[in-house]
Structure 1
Amino acid sequence: MTAVIETRGLTKRFRGGQLAVDRLDLTVPAGSVFGFLGPNGSGKTTTIRMLMGLIEPTAGRATVLGETMPAAARTVLPQVGALIEGPALYGFLSGRDNLLRFDAADPTADPRTRRARVADALDRVGLAPAAEKKAKAYSLGMKQRLGLAAALLRPRRLLVLDEPTNGLDPQGMREIRALVRELAADGTTVFLSSHLLDEIEQVCTHAAVMARGRLLTQGSVGELAARARGRLAVLTPDPEEAARVLKERGITEVAVDPEGGRVTGDPPGPGAELAELTAALVAAGVRVRGFGVERASLEDAFVALTGEGFDVAG
Structure 2
Amino acid sequence: MGTGAEDGGHAEDGGPADAGDHPSDGDLADAAVIRTRALTKRFRGGHVAVNGLDLTVPEGSVFGFLGPNGSGKTTTIRMLMGLIEPTSGTARVLGQPMPRAVRTVLPQVGALIEGPALYGHLSGRDNLLRYDAADPTADPRTRRARVGAALERVGLSAAAGKRARAYSLGMKQRLGLAAALLQPRRLLVLDEPTNGLDPQGMREIRSLVRELASDGTTVFLSSHLLDEIEQVCTHAAVMARGRLLVQGAVAELAARARGRLVVTTPDTAEAARVLKEQGVGDVVVEERGDRVTGEPPEREPAELNAALVAAGVRVRAFGVREASLEDAFVALTGEGFDVAG
TM-score range, shorter chain: over 0.9
User: What is the identity, as a one-letter code, of the residue corresponding to 2:55?
Assistant: L
TM-score by length of 1: 0.96
User: What is the identity, as a one-letter code, of the residue corresponding to 1:54?
Assistant: L
The yes-or-no answer on 1:118 pairing with 2:147 is: yes
- What is the alpha-carbon distance in structure 1 between the residues aligned to residue 188 and residue 128 of structure 2? 17
Match of 2:62 among 24, 30, 33: 33
Residue 237 of structure 1 corresponds to 266
TM-score by length of 2: 0.89
Greater CA drift, 108-117 or 249-258 = 249-258
Q: CA deviation at 1:286?
A: 2.1
Residue 15 of structure 2 corresponds to none
Residue 133 of structure 1 corresponds to 162
- What is the alpha-carbon distance in structure 2 between the residues aligned to residue 84 and residue 313 of structure 1? 19
The yes-or-no answer on 1:311 pairing with 2:341 is: no
Q: Which runs of 5+ in 1 are unaligned?
A: none
Q: Structure 1 259/121 Cα, relative in aligned 2: closer, same or farther at 3 Å?
A: closer
Q: Superposition pairs for residues 5-84 of structure 1, below 5 Å?
A: 5-84=34-113
Q: Structure 1 134/38 Cα, relative in aligned 2: closer, same or farther at 3 Å?
A: same
Residue 315 of structure 2 corresponds to 288
Q: CA deviation at 1:259?
A: 5.9
- What is the alpha-carbon distance in structure 1 between the residues aligned to residue 324 and residue 92 of structure 2? 31
Deviation readout 1:210-231 (Å, 9 max, x if unpaired):
1111100001111111111211
Residue 131 of structure 2 corresponds to 102
SS of equivalent residue, structure 2 residue 315:
coil
SS of equivalent residue, structure 1 residue 296:
coil
Q: CA deviation at 1:278?
A: 1.7
Deviation readout 1:2-44 (Å, 9 max, x if unpaired):
2000000101111122111111000000111111011122110
Residue 274 of structure 1 corresponds to 301
SS of equivalent residue, structure 2 residue 237:
strand
Match of 2:225 among 161, 183, 196: 196
SS of equivalent residue, structure 2 residue 36:
strand
Q: Which runs of 5+ in 2 are unaligned?
A: 1-29
Q: CA deviation at 1:161?
A: 0.3
User: What is the identity, as a one-letter code, of the residue corresponding to 1:301?
Assistant: A
Deviation readout 1:74-121 (Å, 9 max, x if unpaired):
111000000000000111111111111110111111111111100000
Identity fraction in percent: 83
- What is the alpha-carbon distance in structure 2 between the residues aligned to residue 302 and residue 26 of structure 1? 18
Q: CA deviation at 1:257?
A: 4.3
Superposition misfits of 4+ residues, deviation over 3 angstroms: none
Residue 167 of structure 1 corresponds to 196
- What is the alpha-carbon distance in structure 2 between the residues aligned to residue 258 and residue 238 of structure 1? 14
Q: Structure 1 241/258 Cα, relative in aligned 2: closer, same or farther at 3 Å?
A: farther
SS of equivalent residue, structure 1 residue 246:
helix
SS of equivalent residue, structure 1 residue 253:
strand
User: What is the identity, as a one-letter code, of the residue corresponding to 1:180?
Assistant: V
The yes-or-no answer on 1:181 pairing with 2:181 is: no
CA RMSD of superposed structures (Å): 1.3
Q: Structure 1 196/290 Cα, relative in aligned 2: closer, same or farther at 3 Å?
A: same
Q: Structure 1 282/189 Cα, relative in aligned 2: closer, same or farther at 3 Å?
A: same
Q: Structure 1 275/252 Cα, relative in aligned 2: closer, same or farther at 3 Å?
A: same
Q: Structure 1 165/257 Cα, relative in aligned 2: closer, same or farther at 3 Å?
A: closer
| Contact in 1 for aligned 2:226/2:339 (Cα 8 Å) | no
Greater CA drift, 204-213 or 259-268 = 259-268
Match of 1:256 among 261, 275, 285: 285
- What is the alpha-carbon distance in structure 1 between the residues aligned to residue 238 and residue 160 of structure 2? 37
- What is the alpha-carbon distance in structure 1 between the residues aligned to residue 204 and residue 288 of structure 2? 34
- What is the alpha-carbon distance in structure 2 between the residues aligned to residue 287 and residue 184 of structure 1? 47
The yes-or-no answer on 1:144 pairing with 2:168 is: no
The yes-or-no answer on 1:213 pairing with 2:261 is: no
Q: CA deviation at 1:258?
A: 8.3
- What is the alpha-carbon distance in structure 2 between the residues aligned to residue 104 and residue 240 of structure 1? 64
- What is the alpha-carbon distance in structure 2 between the residues aligned to residue 255 and residue 104 of structure 1? 56
| Contact in 2 for aligned 1:11/1:23 (Cα 8 Å) | yes
User: What is the identity, as a one-letter code, of the residue corresponding to 1:253?
Assistant: D
SS of equivalent residue, structure 1 residue 81:
strand
- What is the alpha-carbon distance in structure 2 between the residues aligned to residue 82 and residue 258 of structure 1? 38
